[in-house]
Structure 1
């Protein structure tokens, strides 16, 4: 498979000494957007991401109006995370077993139908929650398939890494824009109309993917039933020490950093800042993430981005320590923005992960990565809530920083041991691949 953005093969010795050779900046975001297929994938992802965020908000409001139950209303958000473990395990082989474009379009069509069904008058609350679960169960399959097809569209080098970065920027930006747009829409029209708009965004995403991406054959086909093939693929992935270590590196820091985020509403209440102040606190991490991703992807080259992986992965959990001092609203916002900047550690992780995973399991590996990340974050949020019932908020939020620093350092050590210093490895379909500099 051609890898236009992959590492260059050794060539003739440079005319000047290595110490004087100019640094290679590498491709930037402009090079990624120059690929027509990626523009279609990006636009589709933007639409579907906004649709998911608006759907969560509108459905939460609709359920609360029907039941007047805060628990059921909050459950609509929780159901956006919990089914990830089902779709990410039992259905993970879908990403490689069938042609990517067909899977992506079908996933969007299922989500559009589920959102449209929510609009039907008289739909019971239990059915609304089941439909929300359906969208959430489809999400990791969609994300894994999309990540796998990005490797075919952009190659497995720096363009792929930058493409994944743009996907993360959309994810974080959708939280900010989606909640703001959803709030404005709900102030003007009923929740059912907003859910209808959500169905339209999924439909538009499906059309963009169908018309804007090429039809490609499936990467691989594991024999047997879908569930059995999914579980067999997961066992194969987890049996590889390098892949296992990198999965932990993608799961652990996000699970730690959401602990203070999950407690921001009660913390804002403790500060007496009101709903607006609480809402702005929730924007802190996404703002930091978008700024960091954009700056690192724009101004740093591949080598510098890779070298930042471990420091940023550890740094992401450290600002939580500041909550031990019960900071004011302004300082709390600064801590949250700093926490969000740690997301840029994913540049290096993505590069190493795609180099470690066999071609025929790339889509499934990306599905497992996404499912594990979302599931670990959901569990961490739940544990944070339980801990906050037994201890002061400042203690729970700062303890996350202490525990996180220890655990992330242990994971980093395992990543190093698993082969971070290797210079390359051969893999079917890709050839020699550069690993990482530690």
Structure 2
């Protein structure tokens, strides 16, 4: 945790509050996800039901991304974040008290996910407001380290709580994390929108403007399409890793679990390094390097000869994914006016969610038709081609926009 004693975490009390709020709420998120997956598996008894639960949490926010991003550009972002945390706490209490049948549960999970996706662009935009530009890469790295660490720790905490509290208790603990997050966010200064004062167009008009800016601005379009392409090609990696370990290498459950953990280990190490050194890097080339490492890592994983080799390659991939995240979240505020930043973040991460869904579907069909090694090679090759396209076009687009 040495990365946290310097830079924005030490200098900015407001950023420390945002950091703590996001860490706590991400930890709670992973708690409730584990609890709900186990509950649905026990009560519905079908893998399809668990898949629907995951889909409800991913698809609804992605489809509503233009609107969720517009909310954080229209109202005070501090109030938006607090309102989202309170809404998620209330929905989790409702789920915990009633443990409703599957259709109603899916609807409540989708609503909670939408509230979380309203929170996401508001919090990303808040970093650009609260942290001075030269510290933003370190701030985004520290947030990535904390949130991914919370997600990794959540299942372990859930395992400890289940024997004592059960499903309802774990869900109520998650609700409490959102309430605590809301209290921490009260310590932030006001973060009013920077758009024009006076009457404004409707929310739908704001959403259309956000989509238009993302598409019409060459640099933003290249970043968005490149990120989505890399995710669409490589998002199937977790499923493919299970088949690679079991079918190709004949590994047992422990080796398979270790292989699945490799990217997470690399992510945490990558965020820790970037929190210390990212301020010295070009965000454009950090983004390209992240795309390249993530994609080439999968391509080489398809050629790996043993679990240990695949583990090493997937650990290195984690560094690349961390670089992609930090570079994108730091680069976008330099390309977009603050008044549009929430919409651009919301649309980008909504599109990435849809790209991940495409990857699950197409990658699953490819896995069934071929094998895990072939899938990894094709996925990595596709992501590498997308990386080359970004490396060629993005610097040129950025040069054109300079006066």
- Same-fold call, TM cutoff 0.5: yes
The 5 Å alignment of 1:143-162 reads 143-155=120-132, 157-162=133-138
Gaps of 5+ in 2: none
The 5 Å alignment of 1:55-66 reads 55-66=32-43
- The structure 1 residue matched to 2:207, chosen from 217, 230, 235, is 230
Q: Render the CA deviation track for 1:107-144: whole Å, top value 9, x for unaligned.
A: 11111111111112351111111111112222222110
Map of 1:216 onto structure 2: 191
Contact 1:158 1:302 in 2 (8 A): no
How far did 1:234 drift? Answer: 1.5
2:252 aligned with 1:277 = no
The 5 Å alignment of 1:328-407 reads 328-343=306-321, 344-407=323-386
Structure 2: distance between partners of 1:68 and 1:348: 42
Distance 1:164 1:356, change over 3 A: same
Q: Which moved more, 1:389-398 or 1:227-236?
A: 227-236
The 5 Å alignment of 1:11-410 reads 30-33=6-9, 34-121=11-98, 123-155=100-132, 157-210=133-186, 212-220=187-195, 223-270=200-247, 271-299=249-277, 301-303=279-281, 307-325=285-303, 327-343=305-321, 344-410=323-389
Q: Render the CA deviation track for 1:92-115: whole Å, top value 9, x for unaligned.
A: 210110001110011111111111
Distance 1:178 1:417, change over 3 A: same
Q: Which has the higher helix share?
A: 2
Contact 2:234 2:359 in 1 (8 A): no
How far did 1:302 drift? Answer: 2.3
Report the 3-state secondary structure (helix = DSSP H, G, I; strand = E; otherwise coil) of the residue aligned with 1:224.
coil
Structure 2: distance between partners of 1:331 and 1:134: 41
Distance 1:378 1:180, change over 3 A: farther
Distance 1:312 1:229, change over 3 A: closer
Q: CA RMSD in A?
A: 2.3
Largest Rg, 1 or 2: 1
Contact 1:91 1:227 in 2 (8 A): no
Q: Provide the aligned length of Structure 1 versus Structure 2.
A: 396
Contact 2:53 2:109 in 1 (8 A): yes
Structure 2: distance between partners of 1:249 and 1:354: 18
Q: Render the CA deviation track for 1:304-345: whole Å, top value 9, x for unaligned.
A: 665443233212210112233353222221121011111214
- The structure 2 residue matched to 1:412, chosen from 376, 387, 391, is 391
* 4+ aligned runs moved over 4 Å, structure 1: 304-307, 422-425
Report the 3-state secondary structure (helix = DSSP H, G, I; strand = E; otherwise coil) of the residue aligned with 1:217.
coil
**TM-score, with normalisation over the residues of structure 1?**
0.84
Q: Which moved more, 1:36-45 or 1:138-147?
A: 138-147
Structure 2: distance between partners of 1:311 and 1:200: 39
Distance 1:409 1:42, change over 3 A: same
Distance 1:148 1:133, change over 3 A: same
